């Protein structure tokens, strides 16, 4: 499981298409600038790493150009580019790029892995924005950007695999069973937490929470023989926080599985579970109606 969150700040709700495209444009332009920095500050790894940073900067510039065209088509004018909108989150932090470019141990694999992480971050960000959106147009556009990030991430993984040493593939294969078992246990524990949480709510809210807590929003069908946990009012805050923590852990596990997938079928399943889990986490946080303390 990844030790650090991909996003350290919860994405803010985006209320309009112009704001959405302005955020996306600033993200792409910031990525171009950060990926281009190592090319202006060569070191002893420059000849090895520069071609990869070059390709990443070109990809992000193409993304920025495409966003301008799409925004004009959707909104009638290009996205604002003077100041980052309030909802802006930098998906390619300069420090991450600098640490990679200056490391004596950095290789093309390391740079491709950094780019994969960036597109994972974009996938999480736009999936989260879509889950929070009230405007259908904003939700649809955010979902398209999330799918684009998913597609880009798959392409970048193929590039990364070209530099992936055999021991990495072997380790991923050995660890797959452990990750599957961990996810199954956490899903079971999360389910019980959500049932206990819902036990203190009125019927309508209880039904909604049970549906939110089920992966892929499957309707909850109680088993008559199941021991249903009941939370007291004094315990509910702890149960709620534990459920949010487990939902976050599951999102990280599924993202980690996608990152380490060794075949297309495993990759697609992990990405589907990750998307559903991120939406679940966002809706559980909304249901809790408390500030998000731990982000993906």
Phi, psi of 82, deg, nearest 5 = -80, -45
Cβ atoms of 250 and 165 within 8 Å: the answer is no
Cβ atoms of 200 and 211 within 8 Å: the answer is no
Tens digit of each residue's pLDDT, the chain (296 residues) = 344 456 666 778 899 999 999 999 999 999 999 998 765 555 556 778 888 999 999 999 999 999 999 999 999 998 876 677 777 788 888 888 888 887 777 888 888 889 998 998 899 999 989 999 999 999 999 999 999 999 998 889 888 887 665 345 544 554 555 556 578 888 888 888 888 888 878 888 888 888 887 764 444 455 444 455 555 556 778 888 888 888 888 888 888 788 777 677 878 888 888 888 888 888 888 888 644 334 44
Sign of CA dihedral 259, 262, 267, 269: negative
pLDDT at position 44 is: 55
Q: Which two tokens stand for residue 62?
A: 């193409």
Cβ atoms of 146 and 130 within 8 Å: the answer is yes
Neighbours of 243 (CB within 10 A): 26
pTM: 0.62
Task: State how far the Cα of 287 lies from the Cα of 156, in Å rounded to an integer.
Answer: 35
Task: State how far the Cα of 252 lies from the Cα of 267, in Å rounded to an integer.
Answer: 14
Sign of CA dihedral 119, 153, 14, 69: positive
Cβ atoms of 212 and 198 within 8 Å: the answer is no
pLDDT at position 6 is: 62
Domains of the chain: 17-164 (1.20.1260.10), 173-288 (1.20.1260)
């Amino acid at each position: 499981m990844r030790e650090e969150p991909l996003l350290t700040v919860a994405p803010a709700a985006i209320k309009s298409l112009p704001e959405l495209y302005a955020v996306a444009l600033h993200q792409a332009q910031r990525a171009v600038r950060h990926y281009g920095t190592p090319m202006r500050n060569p070191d002893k790894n420059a000849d090895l790493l520069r071609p990869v940073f070059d390709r990443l900067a070109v990809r992000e510039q193409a993304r920025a150009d495409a966003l301008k065209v799409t925004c004009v088509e959707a909104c009638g004018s290009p996205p604002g580019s003077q100041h980052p909108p309030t909802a802006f989150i930098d998906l390619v932090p300069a420090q991450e790029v600098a640490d990679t470019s200056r490391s004596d141990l950095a290789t093309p694999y390391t740079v491709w892995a950094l780019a994969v992480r960036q597109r994972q971050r974009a996938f999480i960000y736009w999936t989260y924005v879509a889950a929070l959106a009230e405007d259908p147009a904003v939700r649809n556009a955010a979902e398209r950007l999330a799918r684009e990030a998913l597609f880009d991430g798959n392409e970048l993984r193929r590039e990364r695999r070209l530099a992936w040493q055999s021991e990495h593939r072997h380790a991923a294969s050995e660890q797959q069973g452990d990750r599957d078992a961990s996810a199954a246990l956490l899903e079971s524990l999360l389910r019980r937490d959500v049932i206990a949480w819902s036990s203190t709510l009125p019927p309508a809210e209880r039904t909604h929470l049970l549906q939110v807590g089920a992966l892929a929003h499957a309707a909850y069908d109680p088993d008559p023989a199941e021991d249903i946990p009941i939370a007291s009012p004094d315990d509910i805050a702890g149960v709620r926080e534990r459920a949010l923590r487990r939902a976050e852990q599951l999102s990280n596990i599924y993202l980690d599985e996608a990152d380490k997938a060794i075949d297309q079928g495993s990759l697609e399943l992990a990405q589907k579970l990750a998307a559903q889990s991120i939406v679940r986490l966002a809706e559980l946080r909304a249901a809790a109606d408390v500030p998000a303390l731990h982000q993906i």
